[in-house]
Structure formats: structure tokens, C-alpha cells
Chain A
Amino acid sequence: MHLHKYEKIWLTFGIGSLILFLTVIGIGAFYKGSQPPSHLATIDPQNVEAHEAFREENLGLRKVGDNEYIVSVVASAFNYDLGKDEEGNAIREIRIPVGSTVLFQVTTKDVIHGFEIAGTNVNMMVEPGYINSLETVMDKPGTYTLICNEYCGSGHHFMATKVEVFEP
């Protein structure tokens, strides 16, 4: 098939940039290890407490090393369960020292939810039957909002929690 000379130039340039672009994404994903959240572990959505990470005492923020934390969360309509404090009240806030490495691991007891910390790149889907997880460094102090960004029912827009990244 015949191609006009200018069209050849245009396509060569276009396809060239495309290859370059995909190479950049590919290097980011496979060499630098920056993959989108794709945790493969499964869980019984009707019995999430049976899983070690989501037992009540393990919910919320846990320190696991110098500057290293795990945040385990059970989402359900329309709440993020972050465990209980000493007095037995539900924890309503996540407080993380600035600069720490945090592993978020989340699952849901009912429908699909979102897990987005607005203003950061923490953003993943939470689906029944799966644990999703994402590791990040919280390096900017401030008050963030953890928000459900996947429609989960009539109270979906109330599903939010505060995340405080503080200078210790």
C-alpha cells in the first residue's frame, strides 16, 4: 500500500515516540519496580477476621521497624475499620511520622471500595475476596483525607478518614 512521504515521516515520528514512551513505562515497572497495586492474595470476604492481618488487634497502624509501619484496614459500607484504642473506641484517624515507609493492606467485607489518600499516589481498588496492598513513603507532612473513590452505596460520600503525617 502506498504511503505519502509526509505520512511516512509522521508515522515514523509517532511510532518512534510511542516505543520510547512504552520503554519508559516498562523500565519504571520492571526495573524500578513501580508496578500498579496488584496484590494477588485472596481471602474469604465473609470471614476476613480469620486472616492474621485483619484480626481486630492488628487493625490500624502498627510499627514494624525503624520508620516502618503497616496499616491494615477493613473497608465496609461506609467505613474504614482502623481498630480500637485502649478505651475500646473506634480509631478515626491514622497518624504517621513524616518520612516513614508505610505498607497499606486493605480488604473489604462487603462490596467494592476505593482506597485513596487524596494528594498522594496512594490509590487502589479494594475488592471482596482480595487483599490489595501498596507501599509508599509518606514524605510530606500535612493533613490528608483517606477517601473511598469507588461507589459503594447510598452513604459512599461519607466514607472518609483523616490521615495525619506529622513532624515528630
Chain B
Amino acid sequence: MIKNSVALNKLDSKLVMAHMYVAFISLFIGGLMGLLQTLVRSGTLVLPFGISYYQLLTVHGVILALVLTTFFIIGFQFALMSKTVGMSDKQRDSAWFGFWIMLFGTVTTAITILLGKANVLYTFYAPLKAYPTFYIGLALVVVGSWIGCFTNFRQLYVWKKKHPGEKSPLLAFMVVINMLLWFIATLGVAATVIIQLIPWSLGMVDTVNVLVSRTLFWYFGHPLVYFWLLPAYMAWYAIIPKIIGGKIFSDSLARLAFVLFLMFSIPVGFHHQLTEPGIDPVWKFIQVVLTFMVIIPSLLTAFSMFATFEVTGRSKGYTGLFGWLKGLPWKDVRFFAPMVGMITFIPAGTGGIINASNQMNQVVHNTIWVTGHFHLTVGTTVILTFFGISYWLIPSLTGRKLTKKINTLGMIQTIVWAFGMSIMSGSMHIAGLLGAPRRSSYSTYGGSEQATEWIGYQIAQAIGGSILFIGIILMVYIFFYMVFAAPKGQEEFPIAEVSEDAEPTPKFLENWKLWIGITVALILFAYTIPFLDIIHHSPPGSPGFDKIIR
């Protein structure tokens, strides 16, 4: 059994903290950009020094969606692995190596964006062409993260060797699933960046195949969101039960859900390309069907979570249909923040179902509705769970305590975030339904009457955005307080145990060859024919366009 009270050793703590510094500094910079964006879009602010709105938006997207998430997740996962299966000196060295490569890549890309040579947004759709160092930096981030993947794989492998016949610790299993998903998914984006975009931006080839590049990007783009979500699920399944004084409802259901996420989050990228020419609508529909399969593990997760909550509430003596809700520690921010995130996932997931609904996508595609959607999913569900993790992870790594004061401040932070986001995301959803586009600086769209209807919602977004920025300041303050100022002590690293009532976990759940095999087979099924079709019917390639982004 893992002793909860013992934090990680000093060396592992340092490794995880290095990732956390990058994550929280990114949060601050990205949040500031977000605030400025809402101010510009509402017509309240004109950017000085000829800074382009799209430069801010590129920074915001890259630093929050790619940098913050990747660093937080890889750091958190190292903490979980070190805790559950341990980390050798060699593994730690390779983890640091991966970290430095990712950081070097991040800085390279950041400098390129700051010099205004990469206003291509975080999706960098060709044939908009950024300066080569933008792509090279991103490629390095991916390569660095692969080193993290293989370090994690090795950690579990070594543990299994030492514990023949035992099932792997649940959290280690989950981390390896998420890193498998990441590795398989990033092969797509690495292919377009390394094979297509870098040579093209260096001038070694003249043209690029746009649809191939986009298809490879979105082969990565959807699993990317599950790479963000699964660490949150790790906390929900295996950590929150401990925080609320309960047990994991079922080890096998948790593993099954993760396996299903691995299988059904990759062969589905076409749901981001539903309104695009050049892709056969039959294959779009097939990928839509596959997309909806993730609803099954989502339902499993919802059931498991509420089962855990109810069982725990009742075991504390609370009865009645909903009386057990009183048995939950609502005043403990380690529970409250992720719980608010979890509740947010109900509207967030519903929005996702709408977006992916084949022809219905036309109603919302590229409107600001979509931006409203992912500020609920990643911007609230995931990020509030990450904050919820930070409240115990950071002090346990720095050898300090989560004080009452910080607990209260964290509760306020959560409420401020949820409130600001309801306003911002809510008005984004409504404006989107009215047709307001995403990724657009302030404009009257040629004096359009319709645009005058949107402006009220943009102002509401600026109000919501300002409240959110207060939330960012609070969180960054809390982070640095927990690192440098909180009283010394020992904070628990909470890992839940499986309920005695749960059935034993069947062996087949750990049949990696089987799961990887099915995953690859599904990808080949969903992509081979349409991808060959795209290549076969390729139009002449596109030259790069770099002047129009200045």
C-alpha cells in the first residue's frame, strides 16, 4: 500500500515543480492576453504600438492550450508515477531532458510570436506561413513530450517486472493510457510540421498540400482535448474519493473508461472538418458516429462519480434521496474546485454533442459559440480541476501546508472563475448563435445591422473576462504563496483506495497489445480510405502567404 502521508522525495518534487512554474507563469501571461482580447473585441481598447489583435490571440492560444496544459499535465503525471511506481535516477534524468527540450521549444516559438513573425494562431493553418522557428519550436515541444511519454512507459514497465502478476496501480495505468493517446495523436501533428511545414517555411519546397496538413492537424486536434481531460478524470476517479473520505467505486470501470477514451478519441478528427470541401461526407459521418462513442465512457464516469459521492455521503450517516449531498466536504477547496468543474461539464459536454452533430455543425461552426464551448471544457472543467489538484500538490511538493486562509481564498477563486466564465462563455454562446464569428478583432463588418446586435454580447464578454482575470490574479497569488510563503509542514498526497465491495479487476483490462491493436485498427479504418482519397485527388499545392499576417 502506498503511504499517503509521505510526499515525493526532494528530487522528484523539484522535477514536478519545474513544470508547475512554467504552467502558472503561462496562466498569467495567457490570462492577460485573454483580458486584452475581450477589451479589444468590445471596442473598449485599441492596442498601442501597432500590436495586432491576432498576435495576442496567437499568444493566448499557444500559451494556454499548448504550453500551460502540456507542462501541467506532464508534471502532474510525473508526480503520480513517482508516487505509485517510483522513479529511478536514470528515469529522472530523462524526464529533465524532456523538460528542457520542451522549454527550449516553447521559448523559441514564443520569441518568434513576440517578434510578430507568427501571427498564425495556435492552429497555424497553412498556407498562412510563419517564420520557420515557430514550427521548429513547436516540434521541439512535441519531441520533448515524447521523452516524457517513454519515461512514463519505462517506469511502469520496470515496476511490472518487479511485481510479476500484480495489476498495475490505477493511477499509473491511467497515466500510461494518456501518454499512449498523446504519443499516437502527436504523430499526426509532428508529421505535418516536420515533413510539410518546416521544409516549406524554410523555402526548401514551394508549395504545401493544405488539406493533407489540416487533416493531419485535426487527427491530433481532437485527442488533444482528451489529453487535457484525462488528467482531470484521474483526479476525479482516484484522488477525490480520498479527499471526501470515500473509496473508489470500481477499479475496473475506471480502467475500462480510460481504455474506451483511448480507442475513441483519435479516429474522429473529421468532426472538426465537417464543413470542408474535399472530404467525402460518408467518411465524415462515419467519424461522427465514432465521435459519439466517447459518450459511453463519459456516462460511465458520471455514474462512477455520483456513485462515489452518494456512497460516501450515506456512509457518513446522511440519508434521503439527495440528503447525502450534505455529506460532501463543500468547504474543502480540494473538493469544491474540481466539483464545480465537474458540474460545468454537463453544459460543456452537451455543447460538444451539438458541435459534433454532422449537419448541425453548420449552425455554429467558427462562430464565437465554439469559443464559448471550449472555455467551459478546457477553460473551466479542466482548469478548475487542475487548480483543485494544485491546492494539495504544490504544498506537498514544497513541504508546506494548505492553510485555512488559502483554502478560503481558493473557494473565492473558484466562485469568481465560475461566475466570470458563466458571463463570458454564456454571452459567447448566445452571440455565436446570432452568427458572430470567432477569431475576429473589433469590427462593424461594413456597418452591418446584425453586428450591432452582437456588440452588447461582446461587452458582456469583456465584463466576464475582467472578472476572470481577477480569478487569474488570485490563482497566481495562491500558487506563489503555496510555493514560498505558506507555513512549513506536511500536506497529504491523497490517493484513494478501491472499495471493498468492488469486484476484482479482470486481467484483460491490462492487455496493452489488445488495446493498442484495437486503437490502431480503428484509426486505420477511419482514416485510410479518406486520406488516400485526399492525396489521390490533390489539387495543385499552395505557396506560402506571410505578408498578409503582418
Contacts and interface: CB of A to CB of B under 8 A. Distances in A.
B23 to A, nearest CB: 26
A160 interface: yes
A153 B549 contact: yes
A90 interface: no
B500 to A, nearest CB: 14
B443 A157 contact: yes
Contacts of A124: 275-277, 362
A111 B130 CA distance: 13
A53 to B, nearest CB: 14
A38 to B, nearest CB: 4
B450 interface: yes
Contacts of A118: 434-437, 448, 450
B435 A119 contact: yes
B435 A116 contact: yes
A132 B277 contact: yes
Interface stretch (A41-49, A56-64, A67-75): A41-49
Contacts of B273: 125
Given A1-B256, A36-B359, A125 B275 contact: yes
A10 B273 CA distance: 32
Interface stretch (B178-186, B188-196, B279-287, B342-350): B279-287
B476 to A, nearest CB: 29
A75 B548 CA distance: 14
Contact of B437 (A21, A44, A147): A147
Contact of A43 (B52, B295, B303, B539): B539
B285 A26 contact: yes
Given A36-B284, A36-B358, A145-B435, A130 B277 contact: yes
Interface of B: 52-54, 119, 121, 125, 127-128, 210-211, 214, 252-253, 256, 273-281, 284-285, 288-289, 292, 295-296, 299-300, 303, 307, 357-363, 365-367, 434-443, 445-446, 448-451, 503, 506, 537-543, 545, 548-550
Complex A-B, nearest 10 residue pairs according to Cβ-Cβ distance, in ascending order:
A118-B435, A129-B539, A153-B548, A130-B277, A42-B539, A157-B443, A149-B437, A149-B366, A132-B277, A160-B445
Given A11-B299, A36-B284, 6 more contacts: A1-B252, A36-B358, A129-B278, A153-B54, A156-B54, A160-B443
